[in-house]
Amino acid sequence: MSVSPNALPPQERKCSLSHLAPLEAVLFDIDGTICDSDPLHFYAFQEMLQQIGFNGGVPITEEFYIKTVSGQHNDDIARSLFPDWDHKKGMEFLDEKEAMYRRIAPGKLPAVDGLHKLCKWIEDRGVKRAAVTNAPRANAELMISILGLTDFFQAVVVGSECDRAKPFPDPYLKALKDLGVSSNHTFVFEDSASGIKAGVAAGMPVIGLTTRNPEQMLMDAGATFLIKNYEDSTLWKNLEELVETSTAKV
């Protein structure tokens, strides 16, 4: 006798998405989740921090970047990097860094493998979708445009435009409200610990992408399961099960 996924205890449901049937929406982070943008951000930070003599002029390491910068909101990054600076001065530095990123991004932002295949799967089933990011809106709109997804996303939620950015749940809760969907029928794609914590706090399962950040860090943040990219067989197995469960409920 088969058992309904909703009847399974939480520890057995953790690695499954079938309990979300019928699926209403999919929410995506942007940086590192739909495109591999971290190398460009890392380069921009490394160059600009060296120019101001940060860390005695010694270039920051990728490990430092992952721990201090990746997935964080610029307000928090400014406080972490420049605890002795006036906050306005720190934010001006971050604004200049973002402008540098936008200058170098065109032509250098590869989509995560399988992204457009997944987007077609979502569109074909009439599932709603939104991008939810801690990046400035100018960055978010540029990346979405470069990837040819301007018409795909029905909403773009920016952390700085919410009361609180990730790792708080506010941006994801706003996305649910904007799309008019339930957290019980929605899941999230994220690549950072901060983003995963935000999605989990908003009551949704989060699939973690191992684009750049350590796998254990993502699991510790609460990821339901991890995938390398959107071609990953684990993802498609879960999507097939979700469709089958939805069909069985009709």
Q: How far is CA 192 from the centre of its chain?
A: 7
pLDDT score recorded for residue 12 = 41
Q: Which one is catalytic: 29, 38, 170, 232?
A: 29
Active site annotation includes 29: yes
- For residue 16, the model assigns a pLDDT of 87
Given this model, what pLDDT does residue 6 score? 40
Q: What is the DSSP letter of 234?
A: H
Note if 31 is an active site residue: yes
With residues binned 3-state (H G I as helix, E B as strand, rest as coil), the percentages for the chain, rounded to 5, are: 50, 10, 35
pTM of the model: 0.88
- Taking the domains of the chain in order of start, what are their residue ranges? 20-36+111-249, 38-104
CATH node for 38-104: 1.10.150
**Owner of token pair 């008019």:** 180
Positions of the chain with pLDDT lower than 70, given as ranges: 1-14, 250
pLDDT of 226 reads 97
Bridge-based pairing state of the strands 186-190 and 156-158? unpaired
Contacts of 53 (CB under 8 A, 6+ apart): none
pLDDT at 208: 97
pLDDT tens digits, 115-147:
999 999 999 999 999 999 999 999 999 999 999
pLDDT at position 13? 41
Q: Which of 3, 5, 1, 2 is nearest to 20 (CA)?
A: 5
CATH class of 20-36+111-249: alpha beta
User: Which one from 31, 36, 170, 191 is the annotated catalytic residue?
Assistant: 31
